Amino acid sequence: MAPPSARTPQSVLFACGLNSVRSPMAESLLQQMFPQALYVRSAGARKGELDPFAVAVMAEFGQDISGHKPQTFEELEDWEGLNFDLIITLAPEAHHKALELTRTLAADVEYWPTVDPTTTEGSREQKLAAYREVCDGLLLRIRRRFAKVGAASG
């Protein structure tokens, strides 16, 4: 039996504070990479509103997240259950929530500390640059973490 970190998941949940920037970005990036191989969703510790800067930056990557509806862990659980092999948390609040949930769920949890770009001050271009940096960082980590999935499904 492979150690949990080496297992290739079939279902992945990305989680952050509000499910409005980081987790929808990560969900979209991973879903586009492996549209058939993985089941991917995202949720937040609390409910937020989809961030227009996140939508704009993802559009630059050729991905449309404008239809994303932010949801909490509880809403996701009520809607479809929390049957995920892997929960990747991107913010401390989401990490604590995931650890709490996995007391009763058989899911691995990985913490990928990710800067919240909504706190960036400055011009529109400076804010967009912060969101691009978050997106680039997520893309890099996703490629590294899920390289085996590509090999297995390719």
pLDDT at 4: 45
Confidence label for 2 from pLDDT (cuts 50, 70 and 90): very low
Long-range contact list for 125-131, CB < 8 A, 24+ apart?
127/53, 128/53, 128/56, 128/57, 131/21, 131/53, 131/54, 131/56, 131/57
**What is the tens place of the pLDDT at every residue in 105-122?**
788 999 999 999 999 999
Confidence label for 148 from pLDDT (cuts 50, 70 and 90): confident
**What is the tens place of the pLDDT at every residue in 32-81?**
998 888 999 999 999 999 999 999 999 999 999 999 999 999 998 887 76
Assess whether pLDDT exceeds 70 at residue 151.
no
